[in-house]
Chain A
Amino acid sequence: QKEVEQNSGPLSVPEGAIASLNCTYSDRGSQSFFWYRQYSGKSPELIMSIYSNGDKEDGRFTAQLNKASQYVSLLIRDSQPSDSATYLCAVRMAGANSKLTFGKGITLSVRP
């Protein structure tokens, strides 16, 4: 089992829809969780961080964390074509010091 798994893509949604991106992790002691957005040919950009169970909202983005079930998700409301990118889930596992473990990413395509 990979340490950080993201559901296979690509994911395609129409403009204005809600995009739901999921991520599961293997280490129950993990403390910090992040979502990065990476446009093609560019470097990853941090868009959300979450540390406690529940929801965290920032504009059109909502991160959801459930430590008991070991999953973290990202919801993008009112999806725009500019949201088309690869989204990377990253987890700081217990004992990893500062290192993050990244998932493979899922590519989102928003159709106009």
Chain B
Amino acid sequence: EADIYQTPRYLVIGTGKKITLECSQTMGHDKMYWYQQDPGMELHLIHYSYGVNSTEKGDLSSESTVSRIRTEHFPLTLESARPSHTSQYLCASSDWGAGGEDGYTFGSGTRLTVV
């Protein structure tokens, strides 16, 4: 079954380190998204992409960056991690506009702790 994968599932890292959170999907979806969610809090859109070489910043200001070199791959990078980056990061994809299911499919998430 096609799916969306995030790695790592959990990550504890020291302040100042560079990290990349991986997100891949096998559904051929053009649209992909990154959300940040603190425990018990709402989802905040931080980046999105409508296709290869297309990336946009979301509603929540973020120090992270993204790239979209391949349709299936949408990694998120933090150049210098800080404790304020501690959160859960959720990747999602959508088939909207291509005649498929309209909603998002979410990955399992990466729970990041910066110490």
Contacts and interface: CB of A to CB of B under 8 A. Distances in A.
Interface string B86-115: 000010001011000111111111000000
A25 interface: no
B42 A105 contact: yes
A63 B21 CA distance: 35
A88 B101 CA distance: 18
Interface string B30-48: 0101000000011101001
Nearest to A88: B43
Contact of A46 (B90, B96, B103): B103
A90 B42 contact: no
Interface residues of B, number: 21
A50 B56 CA distance: 28
A102 B42 contact: yes
B42 A49 contact: no
Given A43-B107, A43-B108, A43-B109, A103 B42 contact: yes
B102 A44 contact: no
Interface string A51-82: 10000000000000000000000000000000
A97 B50 contact: yes
A32 to B, nearest CB: 5
Contacts of A42: 108-109
Contacts of B101: 49
A49 B102 contact: yes
A102 B43 contact: yes
A44 B93 CA distance: 12
Interface string A75-112: 00000000000001010100001111011110000000
B74 to A, nearest CB: 14
Contact of B106 (A43, A97, A104): A43
Interface of B: 31, 33, 41-43, 45, 48, 50, 90, 94, 96-97, 101-109
